[in-house]
Amino acid sequence: MRDSFASRIGMVLATAGSAVGLGNVWRFPYMTGENGGAAFILIYIACIFMLGMPGMISEFIVGRHSQANAVRAYTSLSGGRRGWGLIGVLGVVTGLTILGFYSVVAGWCLDYLGVSLVGGLRGDAASVERYFSDFTSKAWQPALLAIAFLVITHLVVVRGVQRGIERASKVLMPLLFILLIIIVVSSCMLPGAADGIRFLFYPDFSKVTHHTLLAALGQAFFSLSLGTCCLCTYASYFRRDTNLVRSATEIAFLDTLIAIMAGLMIFPAAFAVGVQPDSGPSLVFITLPNVFRQAFAAVPLLGWCIAVLFYALLVFAALTSTISMHEIGTAYFAEEHHLSRKTSASIVTVLCAILAVGCSLSFGATDSLQVMGMSLLDFCDHVTSQYMLPLGAFLTSIFLGWFISNETLRSEFTNEGTVARRLFPIYRIAIRYVVPICILLIFLDQTGLL
């Protein structure tokens, strides 16, 4: 019998765990910082509603209807036309590629957790910066940590949906929430924190350009795990009576709440010590250790505690996301190639470990792994988030909006007419017009054509 989520709460926590990840705690704060704060957040929330929720419901419909891995799910909903299965293939490839480079960044988080535990990262600003560049340019240590992260992910995934994924999410997600609250409260109580809070909640629309709009759309996308067939794979473990609209609303709400809380954790502390909020991707690895040290200089033990809790939080957030990416490939190899779960999970782990080692080495240890002038890590990040994710979600909305009958769609959306009937027409307009057009705009913007 095919595995499925045992409880509703387990299902919501696992799916929210996929959505909540480095995208919320690392990417969202620095994007908000770079794009002017509150105005960006408002646009981001609008994007979650306009694009994210219909996109999520679409992937849920494909997965739950077919109760199969991503490739078979698309083929079966199309009535056996194999061409549509290619959306699933794209999802599997995207999922594995993201897992390859994401585990490298997750490995850095593991290292920072270890180093902050033993009281490292306490030197001056220059030494913290040097630590990051020295560490990432080492040959084996970061690569081995990425592999370690993949192995931890593997050990959860092989145990199956109920005993592995659901159980881990039920422990990790509440833990993550508690850590977040502790750090938010400590950060907001610092003298000078009010400026950071103001930055997050008072919109300055003069900073909004069409790039802000499109950056917010792209972020909404990555953060909800849209376009990788990850949501579709998880939905294949949903029960028939799961209310898809309600679940999507809960998950989108949790994901947005946690992203905003991550902002409330980082900006008040950064403003308290006079650090500019727009330091980009290195915010978490270079700026923040300095912020923690300076902000809590009066009580070093508290500074140590907050740093340890913060990197533990990053590790937990990353883990619930890597588990979901791993599951896309594991379900695919097991079901389509008739392998045991153990064997197919091992294939995913080995493939991603090879990519992760390449990504890790390319980031500093060697110059020979450059693609189009970027390190392999940046290249994988760039190609997946800017091309493959939008393409996957675009094709899914075209598929459901234009090639699946209204009756089939309505029956899946409303659980055969029992829930959310009045919302169906809005959903249909969204996936036929709004979602594809928005994605097309992101796409044109990111290829420089707009």
Q: Give me the least distance between CB of 376 and ligand PHE, in Å please.
A: 18
Residue numbers 82-121 binding ligand PHE by CB under 6 A: 98
Residue in this structure with the two tokens 């392998």, named with its chain if needed: 339
Helix orientation angle between 341-362 and 141-157, rounded to the nearest 10 degrees: 160
Helix orientation angle between 167-188 and 300-336, rounded to the nearest 10 degrees: 150
Measure the CA–CA gap between 281 and 270, rounded to whole angstroms: 15
Based on the shown chain and the rule CB under 6 A, indicate whether residue 321 belongs to the binding site for ligand PHE. yes
Residue in this structure with the two tokens 């609303």, named with its chain if needed: 249
List all residues 6 or more positions away from 146 whose beta carbon is below 8 Å from its beta carbon: 103, 104, 106, 107, 353, 356, 357, 359, 360
Q: Which is nearer to ligand PHE, 213 or 259 (CB)?
A: 259
**Is 248 strand, coil or helix?**
helix
Q: Give me the least distance between CB of 147 and ligand PHE, in Å please.
A: 19
Q: Which is nearer to ligand PHE, 256 or 414 (CB)?
A: 256
Q: Which is nearer to ligand PHE, 290 or 330 (CB)?
A: 330
Contact between 160 and 317 under an 8 Å Cβ cutoff? The reply is no
Among 324, 362, 375, 396, binds ligand PHE (CB under 6 A): 324
Q: Which stretch binds ligand PHE (CB under 6 A): 3-11, 18-26, 144-152, 341-349?
A: 18-26
Q: Give me the least distance between CB of 183 and ligand PHE, in Å please.
A: 18
Q: Which is nearer to ligand PHE, 18 or 212 (CB)?
A: 18
Among 12, 13, 16, 19, binds ligand PHE (CB under 6 A): 19
Q: Give me the least distance between CB of 421 and ligand PHE, in Å please.
A: 30
Residue numbers 227-246 binding ligand PHE by CB under 6 A: 228, 230
Q: Mark 176-215 with x for binding to ligand PHE (rule: CB under 6 A) and - for no binding.
A: ----------------------------------------
Measure the CA–CA gap between 64 and 233, rounded to whole angstroms: 8
Output the CA–CA distances (angstroms, integers) from residue 102 to 29, 105, 189, 322, in the order listed.
17, 5, 32, 8
Based on the shown chain and the rule CB under 6 A, indicate whether residue 18 belongs to the binding site for ligand PHE. yes
Contact between 285 and 132 under an 8 Å Cβ cutoff? The reply is yes
Based on the shown chain and the rule CB under 6 A, indicate whether residue 414 belongs to the binding site for ligand PHE. no
Based on the shown chain and the rule CB under 6 A, indicate whether residue 15 belongs to the binding site for ligand PHE. no
Based on the shown chain and the rule CB under 6 A, indicate whether residue 78 belongs to the binding site for ligand PHE. no
Measure the CA–CA gap between 63 and 259, rounded to whole angstroms: 26
At 67, give phi and psi (nearest 5°). 45, 50
Contact between 258 and 20 under an 8 Å Cβ cutoff? The reply is yes
Which H/E stretch holds residue 223?
Answer: helix 210-223
Q: Give me the least distance between CB of 223 and ligand PHE, in Å please.
A: 4
Q: Give me the least distance between CB of 254 and ligand PHE, in Å please.
A: 12
Measure the CA–CA gap between 428 and 304, rounded to whole angstroms: 51
Residue numbers 266-295 binding ligand PHE by CB under 6 A: none
Q: Which is nearer to ligand PHE, 87 or 409 (CB)?
A: 87
Based on the shown chain and the rule CB under 6 A, indicate whether residue 325 belongs to the binding site for ligand PHE. yes
Measure the CA–CA gap between 195 and 201, rounded to whole angstroms: 10
Measure the CA–CA gap between 420 and 57, rounded to whole angstroms: 12
Contact between 161 and 11 under an 8 Å Cβ cutoff? The reply is no
List all residues 6 or more positions away from 143 whose beta carbon is below 8 Å from its beta carbon: 104, 107, 356, 357, 360, 361
Q: Mark 132-171 with x for binding to ligand PHE (rule: CB under 6 A) and - for no binding.
A: ----------------------------------------
Q: Give me the least distance between CB of 326 and ligand PHE, in Å please.
A: 10
Q: Which is nearer to ligand PHE, 230 or 331 (CB)?
A: 230
Among 22, 68, 193, 258, binds ligand PHE (CB under 6 A): 22
Contact between 40 and 29 under an 8 Å Cβ cutoff? The reply is no
- Residues contributing to the site for ligand PHE (CB under 6 A): 18-19, 21-24, 98, 222-223, 225, 228, 230, 321, 324-325
